[in-house]
Structure 1
Amino acid sequence: MAQPANRPVFAPWDDPEEKPLIRFQNVTKRFGEFTAIDNITIDIFRREFFALLGPSGCGKTTLMRMLAGFETPTEGKILLDGVDLAPIPPNRRETNMMFQSYALFPHLSVWDNIAFGLKRSDMAKDKIPARVEEMLRLTRLEKFAKRKPHQISGGQRQRVALARSLAKAPKLLLLDEPLGALDKKLRQDTQFELMDIQEKTGTTFVIVTHDQEEAMTVASRVAVMNHGEMIQVDTPDRIYEHPKSVYVADFIGDVNIIEGTVDTLEGDKAAIVWAEGQPPINATVTESVTRGQKVHFAVRPEKVAIAATRPEGRANVIQGKVIDIAYLGNISTYKVEVAGGLMVKAQVANERRLSRRDITWEDEVWLSFTDTAGVVLLS
Structure 2
Amino acid sequence: MAVPVFAPWTDPEEKPLIQFRNVTKRFGDFTAIEDLTLDIYAKEFFALLGPSGCGKTTLMRMLAGFENPTEGSILLSGQDISGVPPNIRPVNMMFQSYALFPHLSVWENIAFGLKRESKDKAQIHARVDEMLRLTRLEKFARRKPHQISGGQRQRVALARSLAKAPKLLLLDEPLGALDKKLRQDTQFELMDIQEKTGTTFVIVTHDQEEAMTVASRVAVMDEGKLIQVATPAEIYEQPNSVYVADFIGEVTILDGHGTRTDDGYDIAIGEGLPTLRAKTSHDLGAGGKMHLAIRPEKVAISAEKPTDRPNALQGKILDIAYLGNISTYHVELPGGTIVKAQEANTRRLSRRSFTWEDTVWLSWTDTAAVVLER
TM-score, normalised with respect to structure 2: 0.99
- Aligned positions of 1:90-169 closer than 5 A: 90-169=86-165
Match of 2:323 in 1: 328
Amino acid at match of 1:218: V
Counterparts of 1:22-61 in structure 2 under 5 Å? 22-61=18-57
The equivalent residue for 2:343 is 348
- 1:14 and 2:10 aligned: yes
Distance 1:139 1:292 in 2: 55
Correspondence 1:311 to 2:306: yes
The aligned length equals 374
Counterparts of 1:267 and 1:374 in 2: how far apart (Å)? 17
Q: Provide Cα deviations, 1:135-165, integer angstroms capped at 9, x if missing partner.
A: 0000000000000000000000000000000
| 1:272 alignment partner in structure 2 | 267
CA distance in 1, matches of 2:122, 2:156: 21
In structure 2, C-alpha distance between the alignment counterparts of 1:191 and 1:183, rounded to whole Å: 12
Identity of aligned residues (%): 73
**Unaligned 5+ residue runs, structure 1?**
none
CA-CA distance at 1:240 after TM superposition: 0.2
Structure 2 equivalent of residue 372 of structure 1: 367
Residue-by-residue CA offset, 1:297-349 (whole Å, 9 max, x unaligned)? 00000000001111121110000000000100010000000121000000111
Separation of aligned partners in 2, 1:76 and 1:291: 38
**Which stretch has the larger CA shift, 270-279 or 240-249?**
270-279
Q: Distance in 2 between matches of 1:73 and 1:87?
A: 9
Structure 2: runs of 5+ lacking an equivalent: none
Residue by residue over 1:162-210, the C-alpha shift from the partner in whole angstroms, topping out at 9 and shown as x without a partner, is 0000000000000000000000000000000000000000000000000
Instruction: Tell me the distance in 1 between the aligned counterparts of 2:198 and 2:347.
Output: 43
Distance across 2 between alignment mates of 1:298 and 1:292? 17
Code of the residue aligned with 1:287 in structure 2: it is H
- Aligned twin of 2:178: 182
What is the Cα deviation at residue 287 of structure 1? 2.3
Tell me if structure 2 keeps the 8 A contact 1:51–1:209: yes
The one-letter code matched in structure 1 to 2:102 is: P
Note the C-alpha offset of 1:292: 4.1
Alignment of 1:145-294 (within 5 A): 145-263=141-259, 265-294=260-289
Paired AA for residue 9 in structure 1: V
- The superposition leaves residues 98-147 of structure 1 with CA deviations (integer Å, 9 ceiling, x where unpaired) of 00000000000000000000001153332100000000000000000000
Q: Distance in 1 between matches of 2:252 and 2:262?
A: 25
Structure 1 runs (4+) deviating above 6 angstroms are none
Conservation of the 8 A alpha-carbon contact between 2:45 and 2:194: yes
